[in-house]
Chain A
Amino acid sequence: MVRPRPIERVDGIFDAAERSFLAAGLSRTTMSTIARRAGVSEATLYYYFASKEALFLWTLVRAWDPNVALPATLPVDAPDGQSVDAVFGAARRGVVDYPRLAEAVRRPTPADRDGELRRLLAESFDSLTRHRRWIDLAHAAVRADTERAPRWMSETVGGPDNLWVKYFAARPEFAVDPWDAAVLVDVNLHYFARLRPARLGPPTAAQRATVVGTLARALVGA
């Protein structure tokens, strides 16, 4: 008789996978490490997930939305039409970190540029907080990946494709070096919205207001 394989076991596998990918990245994590951590055999792991890449992509999807349902057919393959590179491509297009910033870069400077900056800072702050697990995983995955890491770095803090660099380059009214300004913004947003030690708790409204307010004043200048 075939023993039933409870789908709840998938939660344990996802937890083990997330911890493994965070610790060692994508290329250095093996299915056997994940299996050992989850307390299942490697064969069981392949019963649920067709490949390490499929498991990684579903771990990412679940970090984005914990309620997303897995397909019923096992083993589960990569999410529809997705590949590791497509997922990181989405990040590069600014969908992940800064949803409105890419649009703002293409718009002419509004009369209220100070207000626009404050809104974008606040939105980016919230986006980073909301997606912190996703970003942590993606970052850990590419850290040791010599092919993907340079592309990932190019659009994160201070990289040439970083949206804040483009934003300040398109807003000469701020009279700041686009690179220096982008780094100041990115370092502090990433730190306060997602990298601050977890024991200090999630960012409060007052903290967010201070970060946004101080950065805006610093960038608008005297």
Chain B
Amino acid sequence: MSRTRPADQPQRILEAACRVMSSGLGRDVRAQSIADEAEVGVSTLYHYFEDKDALLDWAILWAAGERPEADAALPLARPASLEERAVRPLTVALAEAVDDALGSGYGEQTLLDLVGALAEVNSARAGLLDLLEALARTDSMAAVAVRTTVERVVGRISRHLADGQARGVYAGDLDADVVAELLLVSSTFYARTWRTDLPVAGRGGSPPPLAMVARLARAVLRSG
């Protein structure tokens, strides 16, 4: 007689795979580590997924919010067009948020809107972003995707800053590319990494202090 498998088992396995990949090894993980994290046997992994690559790919899609169809034939094979389904929606969401914020003109409020928009996308898609960053070390697909996404966002912000400098709104002595990266790196950090990576003793889990990034944004304004 075969035992009944818990209905949430695939979900637990995929979440475990995401955690193990995000912890620093990227795709260089062993099936055993994922099985241990999910508290199942290795053979259970292969009941649901054809091989380790299929499991890891489905975990990336899981982090991107996609779910396997309920009546899909098991074990699941590697999903098609992984990059388009996992990364494209993220890139589009980021680009739209940045465009939206920067579309309102030049000045303090625009930069504050930008900081807020970057933080929001980072918070909302933290799981996928963590995963892609960890993967970027061992997987060229993720590396290219992360790089292209970051470069596109930095390029968009940089053009805005340069235009603003030409209009005399932003301080002309600052390198627009670097300021764009400063704003992106800082917003990303406060909105995402802050949660888990910091020994925040004494902070009592207070919300991310975006106020500091706002100060950074104001520092770009031309003084006087």
A153 touches B209 (CB 8 A): no
Q: Which of A153, A159, A184 contacts B212 (CB 8 A)?
A: A184
A187 touches B186 (CB 8 A): yes
Q: Is the C-beta of B6 less than 8 angstroms from some C-beta in chain A?
A: no
Q: Is the C-beta of A91 less than 8 angstroms from some C-beta in chain B?
A: no
B203 touches A192 (CB 8 A): no
Q: Is the C-beta of A1 less than 8 angstroms from some C-beta in chain B?
A: no
B212 touches A214 (CB 8 A): no
Which residues of A from 178 to 220 have beta carbons under 8 Å from B? 179-181, 183-184, 187-188, 191-192, 196-197, 206-207, 209-211, 213-215, 217-219
B175 touches A207 (CB 8 A): yes
Q: Hey, which chain B residues are within 8 Å of A2, CB to CB?
A: none
Q: Is the C-beta of A39 less than 8 angstroms from some C-beta in chain B?
A: no
Q: Is the C-beta of A221 less than 8 angstroms from some C-beta in chain B?
A: yes
A218 touches B218 (CB 8 A): yes
Q: How far is the CA of A151 from the CA of B179 in the complex (A)?
A: 32
Most buried by B among A154, A179, A181: A179
A214 touches B216 (CB 8 A): yes
A214 touches B199 (CB 8 A): no
Q: Is the C-beta of A79 less than 8 angstroms from some C-beta in chain B?
A: no
Contact with A along B200-217 (1 / 0, CB 8 A): 111100000101110110
CB of A36, distance to nearest CB on chain B (Å): 16
Could you list some 20 contacts between A and B, CB below 8 A? A150-B199, A159-B198, A160-B201, A177-B209, A179-B202, A180-B212, A183-B190, A183-B194, A183-B212, A184-B186, A188-B182, A188-B185, A188-B186, A191-B181, A192-B178, A192-B181, A206-B178, A207-B178, A210-B178, A215-B216
A206 touches B175 (CB 8 A): yes
Q: Hey, which chain B residues are within 8 Å of A222, CB to CB?
A: 218
Q: Considering only CB atoms, which chain B residue lies closest to A208 in the complex? A: B178
Q: Which residues of B contact A (CB under 8 A)?
A: 24, 147, 173-175, 178-179, 181-182, 185-186, 189-190, 194, 197-203, 209, 211-213, 215-216, 218-220, 223
Given A218-B215, A221-B215, A143–B185 Cβ distance below 8 Å?
Answer: no
Q: How far is the CA of A184 from the CA of B200 in the complex (A)?
A: 14
Q: Hey, which chain B residues are within 8 Å of A154, CB to CB?
A: 199
Given contacts A183-B198, A191-B181, A191-B185, 15 further A-B contacts (CB under 8 A): A144-B24, A150-B199, A158-B200, A159-B198, A183-B189, A184-B215, A188-B186, A197-B147, A206-B175, A210-B178, A210-B179, A213-B173, A218-B215, A218-B218, A218-B219
